[in-house]
Amino acid sequence: MKTIAHLLPNYNPFPPVYPAGTELRVAEVSRRQTRYRPVVICGGFPGQPERERDGTMEIERIHIGRVYRRLFQKITRLDPWPYGRRMWRRIEAIGADLIHVHNEPKLLAMLAPYLARKPLPVVVHIANDKPIRPELLPLVARWVACSDYMAGWLRDAVGVDSARIEVIHTGVDIARRPPVWKIPAADRVALRARWGAQPDEYVFLFAGRLVKEKGVVEMLDAFERLGTDKPVRLLVAGNVRDSKDPKNEKANYGRAVALRMAEMRNVKWVGSLHPGAMHDFLLTGDAFLLPSLWHDPFPTVMLEAACAGLPIVAGRRGGITEFLDGCPGVPLLDAPEDPAQLAAAMATLVAEPRRGEEAGRWLRTRIEEHFDWSRVTADFEALYDRLLGGAA
């Protein structure tokens, strides 16, 4: 059986302990691979073993001590055993037949000197518009874009030949995530109570990082001007950037919106959720808000909300458009940065709940037909087949 080395940066724990789209995709696909041997090489965090097996997935963790990190990576910057070198040693030790870099072109740059001496087929998965140096392009056999939008960016902004780009959308676990209409009424009331929502309230949800590009301030502005006689509530799940640097804009923004939510009526910030708790959170809601101001490539939470059967209020941005375009009942917003436009769309759902129900059922059907993890896994393995001549 041929071996695929799935490479991750050392930013987040793996498997993910909070919502992280890249780590979630690697975990879900690797656990389902049967025709190839999947080995995930990633950073190690306190309490995690160096090696671990989870079903068909093997995990190789690179632990870097606190003293080493401080002395060689922060103070002197003379790192004798950098992350790329440690990663290459694991790649050779497992006898990898193909390298799959996940959403971090810097890893490709780290491995470039080693690939020059020992070429291996390389796949690079792109889910964000991170800088890619031109001299690295020849090292890559195939580029995988998370959406048509990102495929266009690779082609037009980076200069990758279209013939070397494939689009593989991410997925969700449909079998274990039923839609809201299949949840017993009493169970749903209990779920709402867990998050402080009442049975008669129309509940809007948001889940994502509390950063400027996600449109959190605009969403709060819209909720404040939401004109309706019916009881409404907004539940927000997401993390604030952990930094004590007073110049860290993301941390400052997150703390500011968290303080604002604490002072708002019928708004509750529930903090960051473990991926296993996300679906229960979604089942408490009547509609999901996705007011991204940037061209979000293809947010995983959008698929998760659709899987729960929730209507999604979002703007025409990036890969969001290619998933939601055509959804009945809830048209895409032309200006999600306009709180008035966002509030009007929210008010329509509160006043005409059938619109949301129609949209939610349409989205769930779309998920069932095209976005299960089994399809994603099959697409990955078909790509490996083409590059390696089959799994045997």
CA within 13 Å, CB half, 255: 12
- Answer yes or no: do 128 and 191 share one domain: no
Tell me whether residue 178 is exposed, middle or buried, using C-beta atoms within 10 angstroms of its C-beta: 0 to 12, 13 to 18, 19 or more.
Answer: middle
Are residues 153 and 65 located together in one domain of the fold?
A: yes
Average pLDDT over residues 174-201: 95
DSSP string spanning 131-149?
---GGGGGG-SEEEESSHH
State the pTM of this model: 0.92
Same structural domain, 57 and 26: yes
Q: Are residues 10 and 132 in the same domain?
A: yes
DSSP secondary structure letter of residue 163:
G
Place of tokens 């990955």: 380
Alpha-carbon gap, residue 238 to 288, rounded angstroms: 14
Same domain, 212 and 359: yes
Does 38 or 55 have the greater pLDDT score?
38
Q: Do 195 and 47 have their domain in common?
A: no
CB-based contacts of 41: which residues, under 8 Å, 6+ apart? 5, 6, 7, 8, 60, 62, 87, 90, 91, 94
Residues 211 and 358 in one domain: yes
343 in the same domain as 311: yes
Q: How far apart are CA 221 and CA 355, in angstroms?
A: 23
**Mean of per-residue pLDDT scores for the chain:** 94
| Total number of domains constituting the chain | 2
Q: Are residues 381 and 359 in the same domain?
A: no
Per the CB < 8 A criterion, the answer to whether 123 and 144 are in contact is yes
Count of CB atoms situated within 10 Å of the CB of 282? 25
Measured distance between the N- and C-terminal CA atoms of the chain, rounded to whole angstroms = 6
pLDDT tens figures, 346-383: 999 999 999 999 999 999 999 999 999 999 999 999 99
Sign of CA dihedral 242, 246, 250, 256: positive
Tell me if 355 sits within 8 A of 330, measured CB to CB. yes
Instruction: Round the CA-based radius of gyration of the chain to a whole number and report it.
Output: 22
- Give the model's pLDDT for residue 78: 64
Q: Could you tell me if 197 and 68 lie in one domain?
A: no
Asked if residue 164 and residue 189 are part of one domain, the reply reads: no
Do 99 and 8 reside in the same domain of the chain?
yes
Q: What is the CATH number for 195?
A: 3.40.50.2000
- Residue 254 sits in which domain range? 180-370
Q: Is 100 helix (H, G, I), strand (E, B) or coil?
A: strand
pLDDT tier for residue 64 given thresholds of 50, 70 and 90:
confident
